[in-house]
């Protein structure tokens, strides 16, 4: 993969996220704003030495990182509908480079959302972890968002530009709530708690929570690997469907 070409592709995709006010509102401002509200209400209720606000960096952090990771699918659907993907297909850039750039470009933005939430917790005096753990949580959340990026791409390959965000959010938001990203699972009905262990959103947040509370994350990693395999297969099917049209 030519580094100069990849750099241009990533730059263009980065601009697509940060220069689009609607995308910036829903992917960046909304998760950070929700974190600020929930942290101010429940941020002092913690688990042992770790404050609630810091634990929320794992749960709301997962919500924020995943929200940004959905951008590639929405971008693909828009590019397809507008005809831009067709223009790109006759360029010397392999399609896989364009798709990889969409995912890579979302990473710094996702990290920025996580960092903004952390600064909010810090400003509230509720940031209870060291920089090493904080960076590890960030890395795990970014890796844990991969199945969602693939799922969004699967939708983006087949859905219309305007309906893709609606479809993606219709899938993601219930998964976020039922997976315990907005509120602790204990606060949700028992059937939702039973459902949560089947949702990748739950396992992504557990990666960060495990680091903060010292619990094992092996099962969560295994579950996310399985989710990645399934969503990669869906994305491949969607891609073939798009190419055949």
Partner 1 sequence: MTEVVTIRGLDHRYGETHALRGVDLTVAAGECVALLGPNGAGKTTLVGALTGMLAPSAGTARIDGADPRRPATRRRLGVVHQSAGFPRTLTVHELVAGWAIRAGRRGSDADAILAEVGLLDLTKRRATELSGGQQQRLQLAMALVVDPTLLVLDEPTVGLDIDARRRFWATLAARRDRGTAVLLTTHQIEDAAAVADRVIVLHEGTVIATGSPADLTAQLPDRTVTARTALRGSELRALPDVLDVTVADGRMRATSARPEATVRALLAADPTLDDLRVEGATLEQAIVAMITQESQEVTA
Residue 12 interacts with partner 1 (CB under 8 A): yes or no: yes
Among 33, 41, 47, 94, binds partner 1 (CB under 8 A): 94
Give the footprint of partner 1 on residues 113-172 (CB under 8 A).
none
Q: Token pair for residue 176? A: 């976020």
Q: Is 73 within 8 Å of 106 (Cβ atoms)? A: no
Q: Look at residue 47 and give its three-state secondary structure.
A: strand
Residues 29-68 as x/- pattern, contact with partner 1 by CB under 8 A: ----------------------------------------
Least distance in angstroms from the C-beta of 98 to partner 1? 10
- What H or E segment, with its residue span, contains residue 132? helix 131-144
Among 25, 41, 44, 89, binds partner 1 (CB under 8 A): 89
Q: Which lies closer to partner 1 via its Cβ, residue 88 or residue 197?
A: 88
Least distance in angstroms from the C-beta of 6 to partner 1? 10
Least distance in angstroms from the C-beta of 8 to partner 1? 5
| Stretch near partner 1 under the rule CB under 8 A, chosen from 86-94, 176-184, 187-195, 229-237 | 86-94
Helix axes 218-244, 146-158, angle to 10 degrees: 20
Q: Is 223 within 8 Å of 203 (Cβ atoms)? A: yes
Report the C-alpha dihedral over residues 226, 52, 109, 218, rounded to 10 degrees: -20
Residues in contact with 194: Cβ distance below 8 Å, sequence separation at least 6, in sequence order: none
Residue 83 interacts with partner 1 (CB under 8 A): yes or no: yes
Residues in contact with 78: Cβ distance below 8 Å, sequence separation at least 6, in sequence order: 84, 161, 164
Q: Which lies closer to partner 1 via its Cβ, residue 57 or residue 71?
A: 71
What residues line the site for partner 1 (CB under 8 A)?
Answer: 2, 4-5, 8, 11-12, 15-16, 19-20, 79, 81-84, 86-87, 89-94
């Amino acid at each position: 993969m030519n580094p100069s070409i990849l750099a241009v592709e990533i730059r263009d995709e980065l601009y697509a996220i940060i220069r689009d006010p609607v995308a910036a509102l829903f992917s960046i401002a909304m998760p950070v704003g929700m974190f600020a509200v929930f942290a101010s209400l429940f941020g002092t209720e913690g688990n042992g030495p770790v404050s609630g606000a810091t634990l929320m960096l794992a749960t709301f952090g997962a919500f924020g990182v995943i929200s940004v990771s959905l951008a590639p699918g929405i971008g693909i659907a828009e590019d397809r509908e507008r005809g831009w993907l067709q223009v790109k297909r006759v360029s010397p850039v392999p399609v896989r480079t364009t798709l990889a750039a969409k995912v890579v470009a979302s990473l710094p933005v996702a990290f920025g959302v996580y960092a903004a939430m952390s600064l909010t917790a810090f400003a509230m005096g509720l940031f209870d972890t060291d920089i090493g753990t904080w960076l590890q949580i960030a890395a795990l959340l970014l890796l844990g968002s991969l199945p969602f990026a693939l799922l969004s791409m699967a939708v983006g390959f087949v859905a219309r530009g305007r309906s893709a965000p609606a479809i993606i959010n219709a899938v993601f938001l219930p998964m976020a709530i039922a997976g315990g990203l907005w509120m602790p699972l204990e606060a949700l009905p028992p059937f939702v708690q039973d459902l949560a262990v089947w949702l990748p959103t739950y396992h992504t947040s557990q990666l960060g929570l495990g680091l903060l509370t010292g619990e094992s994350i092996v099962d969560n990693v295994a579950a996310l690997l399985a989710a990645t395999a399934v969503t990669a297969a869906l994305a491949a099917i969607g891609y073939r469907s798009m190419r055949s049209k």
